[in-house]
Chain A
Amino acid sequence: MPKLNLPSVRIPANDSASSPTPPAHFHLARRLAALVLLGGNSRAASHAGGRLILSWRSPIRASAAGLRRVASVSQNYTAVSWNAQKRAYDLALATGMLLYITTFLALGAWLHPTATAETLLIRALGSCAFLSLNVILCIGPLCRLDARFLPLLYNRRHLGVATFLLGLAHGAFSLFQFHALGDADPFISLLTANRNFASLADFPFQPLGFFALIILFLMAATSHDFWLRNLTPSVWKLLHMLVYFAYALLVAHVTLGLLQSERSPWLVAAMVASIALVLTLHLAATLKEKKIDQAAHEKDAGNFVAACRVNEIPEKFAKVISVHGERVAIFKYDGKISALSNVCRHQNGPLGEGKIIDGCVTCPWHGYQYLPETGASPPPFTEKVCTFRTKLVDGLIWLDPTPLPPGTPVEASKVQTA
């Protein structure tokens, strides 16, 4: 079985810094990014209907400050790559969370006049964190089901970190309120104060939240490209897949906590609905992808398989097919056909759901770009993905499913026009 994910290349440090003149493409990309950032009606903006404005990042590195930085010292880590869209996203996020907490406190004080302010605050922070985690888990499958949700994916990292901070505040307040005022060490008290493991109604639910918070901490702490590069994409992804384990722990934490303090059927119904939504969306997205993976492809005398017809692919977009369990994105652009690995080098984003902008395949997640005929990022960036050979026979695209090493130039198939 051919392996699509061949070893990547090392990314040399500051390779553009040694070149006094950035390539022409770089200037064009900067001009385009500036248009997007200034709200201009650029090609990227008009074609994507707002989608790619939000996902434009590297190699343009998005912000105006980022552009200056790239021009002088490329490939350097920045703390946060701010741009207008990220600021707007974060502002909306902070406002939404603040609004939720305020409303929760006001409603809580009205409905439960005997509840203390500390208890209400602990519940407001905890429920907000749990709600955010549900949103985070819904974003991925929603985007796989419908590309219009892609703007939500952009900056999901900040939503994740914000969720951890809410959880941390909830945990810190709870630890202080329930475990720090006695003689025992607060963490030892947290782990040992309640030992009713046999009772569902009095189960020690707090340690479950603590362990979930440790996982969320690890995820938030490694939510930077430094960690993606230094842990390697596979380890990083594995670590971040622990979110599902954290979610299971939190579902148990919240459910058991609710059972002990609340009798409202509405809260239980909301809890069940949120879990059902997350599960249903994941199931739907999996079924959709399974359909792609299970599609059978006719083989010719050589090693080529029939992929799809040319007219099935919209101009500057791709069709994703799965051959031998590996996904390949076949792009149509400027009368040509090229095929690349569907996996972006950055965070394994689905390249086939992106589009060609400025002659480059652009990942819909964070805007990483690759030249369609080589699978290599335009200079000064050095990310590379595997390429595949294609041929066109009577409007049918044939694909050699054997992946070529990342960055291998492949002559594009020419689309014959009548």
Chain B
Amino acid sequence: MAERVASALVWAMYAYVACGAIFAACFVTRGVQRIDSQARHAGFTFRLLIFPGVAALWPLLAHRWIDAQAEPPIGENPRQ
């Protein structure tokens, strides 16, 4: 039972990471400048640097890219 649960979790993780890696490859080359104007002229190293984070948080960025949100959301600083 425990092995079956662990196996399901691990394979779900593999699938998530694989989807994330494919998405990240497209996003850092074409998508990032569409959702954040400050990335328009960003170099290769910056794109490489954000790759792991994009692969990990890809649903969030995919949602913004699909929604064609041209700028990051307006955020509030938390209380200090």
Residues on A facing B (Cβ under 8 Å):
4-14, 73, 75-80, 185, 187-188, 191-192, 195, 217-218, 220-222, 224, 226-227, 229-235, 237-238, 325-327, 342-345, 348, 350
CB-CB nearest in chain B for A6: B76
Question: Once the chains bind, are B72 and A229 in contact (CB under 8 Å)?
Answer: yes
Known contacts A8-B77, A342-B80; is-contact A79 B56 (Cβ 8 Å): no
Question: Once the chains bind, are A343 and B3 in contact (CB under 8 Å)?
Answer: no
- The distance from the CB of B69 to the nearest CB of chain A, in whole angstroms, is 10
Query: Which residue in A4, A11, A231, A233 is a CB contact (below 8 Å) of B38?
Result: A11
CB-CB nearest in chain A for B60: A231
CA distance A78 to B49 in the complex (A): 10
Known contacts A8-B75, A192-B6; is-contact A13 B37 (Cβ 8 Å): yes
Can you sample 11 A-B contacts with CB below 8 Å?
A7-B76, A76-B40, A77-B42, A78-B46, A79-B46, A185-B7, A191-B9, A224-B49, A226-B46, A233-B75, A343-B79
A222 partner residues in chain B, CB cutoff 8 A: 53, 57
Question: Once the chains bind, are A217 and B56 in contact (CB under 8 Å)?
Answer: yes
Q: What is the number of residues of chain B that contact chain A, defined by CB distance less than 8 Å?
A: 39
Question: Once the chains bind, are B79 and A4 in contact (CB under 8 Å)?
Answer: yes
Known contacts A8-B74, A8-B77, A343-B77; is-contact A76 B56 (Cβ 8 Å): no
Q: How many inter-chain contacts with C-beta < 8 Å in the A-B complex?
A: 128
Scan B34-69; emit 1 where CB is below 8 A from any A CB, else 0. Answer: 011111111101101110110011001100100000
Query: Which residue in A7, A224, A237, A343 is a CB contact (below 8 Å) of B74?
Result: A7
Q: Name the residue among A6, A73, A187, A345 with the largest chain B CB count within 10 angstroms.
A: A187
Question: Once the chains bind, are A76 and B41 in contact (CB under 8 Å)?
Answer: yes
Known contacts A78-B42, A188-B3; is-contact A233 B56 (Cβ 8 Å): no
Known contacts A14-B37, A185-B10; is-contact A78 B43 (Cβ 8 Å): yes
B6 partner residues in chain A, CB cutoff 8 A: 187-188, 191-192
CA distance A255 to B72 in the complex (A): 42
- The distance from the CB of A343 to the nearest CB of chain B, in whole angstroms, is 5
- The distance from the CB of A361 to the nearest CB of chain B, in whole angstroms, is 15
Which are the 4 A-B pairs with shortest beta-carbon distances?
A: A232-B75, A13-B37, A221-B53, A79-B45
B73 partner residues in chain A, CB cutoff 8 A: 230, 232
Question: Once the chains bind, are B49 and A237 in contact (CB under 8 Å)?
Answer: no
- The distance from the CB of A160 to the nearest CB of chain B, in whole angstroms, is 14
A350 partner residues in chain B, CB cutoff 8 A: 80
Question: Once the chains bind, are A8 and B76 in contact (CB under 8 Å)?
Answer: yes
- The distance from the CB of B4 to the nearest CB of chain A, in whole angstroms, is 10
B71 partner residues in chain A, CB cutoff 8 A: 10
List 8 extra interface pairs beyond A217-B56, A343-B78, CB under 8 A. Answer: A12-B37, A76-B40, A185-B7, A187-B6, A224-B50, A229-B36, A234-B78, A326-B79
Question: Once the chains bind, are A233 and B76 in contact (CB under 8 Å)?
Answer: yes
* Chain B 13-44 residues near chain A, CB threshold 8 A: 13, 32, 35-43
CA distance A233 to B76 in the complex (A): 7
Query: Which residue in B43, B57, B72 is a CB contact (below 8 Å) of A79?
Result: B43
Known contacts A185-B10, A191-B6, A192-B3; is-contact A217 B52 (Cβ 8 Å): yes
CB-CB nearest in chain A for B3: A192
B79 partner residues in chain A, CB cutoff 8 A: 4-5, 325-326, 343
CA distance A43 to B64 in the complex (A): 44
B45 partner residues in chain A, CB cutoff 8 A: 79-80
CA distance A14 to B40 in the complex (A): 10
- The distance from the CB of B16 to the nearest CB of chain A, in whole angstroms, is 12
- The distance from the CB of A153 to the nearest CB of chain B, in whole angstroms, is 15
CA distance A229 to B73 in the complex (A): 8
CB-CB nearest in chain A for B64: A230
Question: Once the chains bind, are A191 and B76 in contact (CB under 8 Å)?
Answer: no
